[in-house]
């Protein structure tokens, strides 16, 4: 049975969708490029360092860290390995569970995060916040909330 027309986006809806995706990708790319250029951290490095910086004791179990950054555990494992080799974090046995490991922010990682944060936050202000009016910024928050809620909602199968 053919899907009804209402199941598909209209031409205008598709145009808005493409504009949204392309602009979001361009913004992400520019922020990532600046972060790399100004601090030698990738956006992945920054996401992991941010999660550890905000965690109690500056440590998280790998599984918790994966949830925090929204990655599959295999991707996180490779990222942790690269960052560990650079001295930004280390793995330690979990004090409460000998089967698990915790990822711990090192002093070098904390310093790298501090050094990257101000330029990164300036870029966020320049490229995102300053480009929008207060009403547009509020609308962006509403859009992000609505999309996030839809993505977290149980799906019909």
Q: How far is CA 15 from CA 11, 23, 150, in A?
A: 6, 12, 21
Contact 80, 90 (CB under 8 A): no
- Domain count along the chain: 1
Query: Does the residue 24 lie in any domain?
Result: no
Query: Does the residue 46 lie in any domain?
Result: yes
Domain that holds residue 102: 39-117
Q: Quote the pLDDT of residue 2.
A: 54
Q: How many CB atoms lie within 10 A of CB 143?
A: 11
Query: Does the residue 3 lie in any domain?
Result: no
43-79 pLDDT, tens digit each: 999 999 999 999 999 999 998 999 999 999 899 999 9
Buried b (16+ CB within 10 A) or exposed e, 92-110: eeeeeeeeebbbbbbeebb
What CATH number does residue 111 fall under?
Answer: 1.10.10.10
Mean pLDDT (whole number) for 7-11: 92
Query: Does the residue 70 lie in any domain?
Result: yes
Q: Quote the pLDDT of residue 6.
A: 80
Residue 93: which pLDDT band, with cuts at 50, 70 and 90?
A: confident
- State the pTM of this model: 0.85
Query: Does the residue 147 lie in any domain?
Result: no
Query: Does the residue 50 lie in any domain?
Result: yes
């Amino acid at each position: 049975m053919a899907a009804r027309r209402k199941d598909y986006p209209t031409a205008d809806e598709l145009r808005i969708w493409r504009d949204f995706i392309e602009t979001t990708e361009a913004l992400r790319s520019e922020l990532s490029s600046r972060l790399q250029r100004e601090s030698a951290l990738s956006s992945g490095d920054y996401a992991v360092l941010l999660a550890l910086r905000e965690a109690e004791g500056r440590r998280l179990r790998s599984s918790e860290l994966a949830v925090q950054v929204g990655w599959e555990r295999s991707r996180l494992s490779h990222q942790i390995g690269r960052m560990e080799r650079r001295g930004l974090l280390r793995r330690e046995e979990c004090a409460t569970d000998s089967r698990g490991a915790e990822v711990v922010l090192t002093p070098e990682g904390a310093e790298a995060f501090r050094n990257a944060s101000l330029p990164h936050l300036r870029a966020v202000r320049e490229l995102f916040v300053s480009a929008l009016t207060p009403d547009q910024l509020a609308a962006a928050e509403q859009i992000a909330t609505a999309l996030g809620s839809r993505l977290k909602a149980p799906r019909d199968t």
